[in-house]
Amino acid sequence: MYENIDALAVVRSTSPDEPITLLRPHAATRAARFFVEKFQGKSLYAVKANPSPALLELLWDAGITHYDVASLGEVRLVNKFLPDAKLCFMHPVKSERAIAQAYHNHGVRTFSLDSHEELQKIVRATKGATDLELCVRIRVSSEHAKLSLASKFGADPSEVADLLVATRQVADALGICFHVGSQAMSPAAFAEAMGHVRAAIVKASVTVDIVDVGGGFPSVYPGMEPPDLESYFDVIHTMFEDLPISYSAELWCEPGRALCAEYASLLVRVEKRRGRELYINDGAYGSLFDAAHVGWRFPVTLLRSNTAIGTQMAEFSFYGPTCDDMDYMAGPFILPDDIKAGDYIEVGMLGAYGCAMRTEFNGFGETETIIVEDAPMATLYGDVRDNDAVHRPMRTSTSHQ
Ligand SMILES: Cc1ncc(COP(=O)(O)O)c(C=O)c1O
Q: Regarding the domain with residue range 2-23+261-391, which homologous superfamily does it belong to in the CATH classification?
A: Lyase, Ornithine Decarboxylase; Chain A, domain 1 (2.40.37.10)
Count the neighbouring beta carbons within 10 Å of the beta carbon of residue 227: 12
- The reported pLDDT for the residue numbered 67 is 98
User: Domain extents for the chain?
Assistant: 2-23+261-391, 26-260
Q: Which amino acid is at 33?
A: R
Share of residues in the chain with pLDDT > 70 (%): 94
Q: Compute, in angstroms, the gap from residue 357 CA to the centroid of ligand 1.
A: 15
Q: Compute, in angstroms, the gap from residue 193 CA to the centroid of ligand 1.
A: 15
- Taking the chain, what is the end-to-end CA distance rounded to the nearest angstrom? 30
- Structural element, H or E, at residue 269: strand 264-274
**Nearest CA-CA partner of 212 in 90, 338, 77, 341:** 90
Per-residue model confidence as pLDDT tens digits over 263-308:
999 999 999 999 999 999 999 999 999 999 999 999 999 998 776 6
Per-residue model confidence as pLDDT tens digits over 225-258:
999 999 999 999 999 999 999 889 999 999 999 9
- The reported pLDDT for the residue numbered 395 is 31
Q: What 3-state DSSP class applies to 86?
A: strand
| Alpha-carbon gap, residue 107 to 147, rounded angstroms | 32
| Alpha-carbon gap, residue 244 to 248, rounded angstroms | 12
Radius of gyration over every alpha carbon of the chain, rounded to an integer in angstroms? 22
Q: Regarding the domain with residue range 26-260, which homologous superfamily does it belong to in the CATH classification?
A: Alanine racemase (3.20.20.10)
| Alpha-carbon gap, residue 53 to 357, rounded angstroms | 15
Q: Which of 45-49, 197-201, 322-326, 392-396 has the lowest mean pLDDT?
A: 392-396
Per-residue model confidence as pLDDT tens digits over 179-195:
999 999 999 999 999 99
Q: Compute, in angstroms, the gap from residue 273 CA to the centroid of ligand 1.
A: 37
> Which residue, judged by its Cα, is nearest atom 7 of ligand 1?
215
Query: What are φ and ψ of residue 82, in 5° steps?
Result: -130, 75
User: Is the separation of the CB atoms in 186 and 227 below 8 Å?
Assistant: yes
pLDDT band at 383 (very low <50, low <70, confident <90, very high): low
Ligand 1, residues at Cβ distance < 6 Å: 46, 48-49, 68, 90, 149, 179, 182, 214-217, 254-258, 352
**Nearest CA-CA partner of 381 in 73, 77, 36:** 36
Local structure of residue 155 (DSSP, 8 states): B
